[in-house]
């Protein structure tokens, strides 16, 4: 089956009792043994649950992996992956990774002696320079948050493999509709299903997918040992969300492109960050490795902090909120919200200034989205003139 059909059908048909079309929510902690040592494949929900299994099969199929674990949050997915490593193992991580990823990497460095180096991986040659004898993995996140820089997954995976290291990709921003890292040589894919996969801002969840069965098995073992599995109800909601993933991603992108073009021509905007724009510094790589450019757009306002506040307070349809990937449009001010905990020198170095605004463009009517953004921006040009 093709991707769109698999979003709807993969793993879903689980009801042997009544042939329900939808996977039932097996809201149970435990399962009765038919006889001593005899089960129907499940004994305890921390270890495994049919609803969770359905979601795991579905996401594994979409990414083209051999197995997956569905976890309670995106961070629990990352936690499970980090337990593949031992103290003194070295991990090279993209310098502008998700803040929570940075936090747990530093925590594991402090607690367990994991060695971490942050590197600007936009030049794949920098990975080679950072390799050490004990380098066991490269942590890739592309496009990055909030500047939407693109990393070359294939080039980085080749270098990692030459060194016997794993290539791990956080694919949250693209979803398997727009990017499938296994096709580009990655070994492990991480998701915050909280974002596009669920898509309705009503669940926090995560997933890890493996290309090799041996890694998939180890991840299952770790997920059970660490107790990171997602609840049956959350898994059911994410399964439900994924059924519309393809049409949602198409609409997100269609709207995001129009927003990016609108902002590019607006006098209140200094610079637009969207990999779909030909002027984006990594546009070529994005075009080569992605099936689409996604629904995230960032921009620098042509103004000061007071102007930024004016925009954030003037929007009506866009909600001032963190997170992304839901059907509704959200607006975020990275410096005071999502990236507030980031070291300010590092933030400056990465190019995240106080005039930066990040949009998660929803799937509302594009005319309402543009009207709202236009009104908010005119508040700035007005304020500046008056």
Indicate which single residue of 54, 75, 285, 315 sits in contact with ligand PLP (rule: CB under 6 A): 75
Helix (H) or strand (E) holding 374: helix 366-385
Complex with ligand PLP: residue 191 or 266, whichever CB lies closer: 191
Instruction: Please give the C-alpha separations between residue 340 and each of 94, 213, 331, in angstroms, as whole numbers.
Output: 19, 39, 15
Q: Count the residues of the shown chain that bind ligand PLP, applying the rule CB under 6 A.
A: 15
Point out the residue whose Cβ comes nearest to ligand PLP.
74
SS3 call for 375: helix
d(CA 237, CA 204): 10
27-51 burial string, b = 16+ CB within 10 Å, else e?
eeeebeeeeeeeeeebeebebbbbb
Among the listed residues 46, 103, 154, 250, the single catalytic one is 46
Indicate which single residue of 141, 253, 307, 332 sits in contact with ligand PLP (rule: CB under 6 A): 141
* Cβ atoms 21, 69 nearer than 8 A: no
Interaction residues for ligand PLP, span 8-37 (CB under 6 A) = none
Starting at the edge strand found earlier in the chain, the sheet holding 319-320 runs 269-273, 296-301, 356-360, 330-332, 319-320
Instruction: Please give the C-alpha separations between residue 156 and each of 191, 290, 291, 310, in angstroms, as whole numbers.
Output: 19, 15, 19, 41
Pair type for strands 115-119 and 90-94: parallel
State CA 219 to chain mean position distance: 19
Pair type for strands 90-94 and 269-273: unpaired
Question: Closest separation between CB of residue 1 and ligand PLP, Å?
Answer: 28
SS3 call for 93: strand
Complex with ligand PLP: residue 63 or 170, whichever CB lies closer: 170
Verify binding: residue 74, ligand PLP, rule CB under 6 A: yes
Question: Closest separation between CB of residue 336 and ligand PLP, Å?
Answer: 18
Interaction residues for ligand PLP, span 30-69 (CB under 6 A) = none
Indicate which single residue of 24, 64, 100, 351 sits in contact with ligand PLP (rule: CB under 6 A): 100
- Kindly state the DSSP code that residue 38 receives in the 8-state scheme: B
- Residue whose entry in the numeric block shows the structure tokens 């008056």: 386
| 108 catalytic per annotation | no
175: left (phi over 0), alpha (psi -120 to 50) or beta: left
Indicate which single residue of 178, 194, 255, 314 sits in contact with ligand PLP (rule: CB under 6 A): 194
Indicate which single residue of 192, 282, 290, 360 sits in contact with ligand PLP (rule: CB under 6 A): 192
| 310 catalytic per annotation | no
Question: Closest separation between CB of residue 171 and ligand PLP, Å?
Answer: 8
Indicate which single residue of 204, 216, 335, 380 sits in contact with ligand PLP (rule: CB under 6 A): 204
68: β partners: 209
Verify binding: residue 172, ligand PLP, rule CB under 6 A: yes
d(CA 7, CA 204): 19
Verify binding: residue 352, ligand PLP, rule CB under 6 A: no
Among the listed residues 195, 211, 248, 257, the single catalytic one is 195
Verify binding: residue 176, ligand PLP, rule CB under 6 A: no
Question: Closest separation between CB of residue 97 and ligand PLP, Å?
Answer: 8
Q: How many CB atoms lie within 10 A of CB 283?
A: 16
Terminal alpha carbon distance of the chain: 59
Indicate which single residue of 73, 178, 231, 289 sits in contact with ligand PLP (rule: CB under 6 A): 73
Verify binding: residue 206, ligand PLP, rule CB under 6 A: yes
Give alpha helix (H) positions in 137-207.
153-162, 175-178
- Kindly state the DSSP code that residue 314 receives in the 8-state scheme: H
Among the listed residues 96, 170, 234, 307, the single catalytic one is 170
Question: Closest separation between CB of residue 230 and ligand PLP, Å?
Answer: 10
Query: Interacting stretch for ligand PLP, rule CB under 6 A, among 7-15, 190-198, 278-286, 355-363?
Result: 190-198
Complex with ligand PLP: residue 204 or 363, whichever CB lies closer: 204
Query: Interacting stretch for ligand PLP, rule CB under 6 A, among 23-31, 70-78, 122-130, 276-284?
Result: 70-78
Complex with ligand PLP: residue 139 or 262, whichever CB lies closer: 139
| 98 catalytic per annotation | yes
Q: What is the DSSP string of 128-156?
A: HHH--TTEEEEEEESS-TTT-----HHHH
Complex with ligand PLP: residue 204 or 242, whichever CB lies closer: 204
Which residues of the chain form contacts with ligand PLP (CB under 6 A)? 73-75, 98, 100, 141, 145, 170, 172-173, 192, 194-195, 204, 206
Residues carrying an active site annotation: 46, 98, 170, 195
């Amino acid at each position: 089956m093709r991707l769109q059909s698999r979003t709807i059908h993969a793993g879903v048909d689980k009801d042997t009792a009544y042939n329900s079309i939808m996977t039932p929510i097996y809201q149970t902690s435990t399962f009765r043994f038919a006889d001593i040592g005899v089960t129907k494949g499940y004994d305890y929900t921390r270890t495994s649950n049919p609803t969770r299994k359905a979601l795991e099969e579905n996401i594994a199929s979409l990414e083209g992996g051999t197995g997956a674990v569905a976890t309670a949050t995106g961070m629990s997915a990352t936690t499970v992956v980090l337990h593949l490593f031992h103290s003194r193992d070295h991990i090279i991580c993209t310098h502008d990774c998700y803040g929570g990823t940075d936090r747990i990497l530093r925590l594991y460095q402090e607690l367990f002696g994991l060695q971490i180096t942050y590197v600007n991986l936009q030049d794949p040659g920098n990975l080679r320079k950072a390799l050490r004898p004990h380098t066991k993995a490269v942590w890739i996140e592309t496009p990055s948050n909030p500047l939407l820089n693109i990393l070359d997954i294939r080039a980085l995976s080749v270098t990692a493999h030459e060194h016997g290291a794993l290539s791990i990709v956080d694919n949250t921003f693209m979803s398997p509709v727009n990017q499938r890292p296994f096709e580009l040589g990655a070994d492990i894919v991480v998701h915050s299903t909280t974002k596009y996969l669920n898509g309705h801002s009503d669940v926090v969840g995560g997933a890890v997918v493996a290309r090799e069965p041996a890694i998939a098995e180890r991840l299952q073992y770790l997920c059970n040992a660490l107790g990171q599995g997602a609840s049956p109800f959350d898994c059911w909601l994410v399964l439900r969300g994924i059924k519309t993933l393809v049409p949602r991603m198409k609409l997100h992108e269609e709207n995001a492109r129009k927003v990016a073009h609108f902002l590019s021509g607006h006098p209140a905007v200094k610079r637009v960050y969207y990999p779909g724009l030909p002027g984006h510094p990594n546009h070529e790589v994005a075009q080569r490795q992605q099936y689409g450019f996604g629904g995230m757009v960032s921009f620098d306002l042509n103004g000061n902090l007071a102007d930024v506040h004016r925009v954030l307070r003037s929007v009506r349809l866009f909600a001032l909120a963190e997170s992304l990937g839901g059907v509704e449009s959200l607006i975020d001010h990275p410096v005071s919200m999502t990236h507030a905990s980031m070291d300010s020198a590092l933030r400056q170095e990465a190019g995240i200034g106080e005039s930066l605004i990040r949009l998660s463009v929803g799937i509302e009517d594009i005319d309402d989205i543009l009207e709202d953004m236009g009104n908010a921006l005119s508040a700035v040009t007005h304020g500046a003139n008056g």
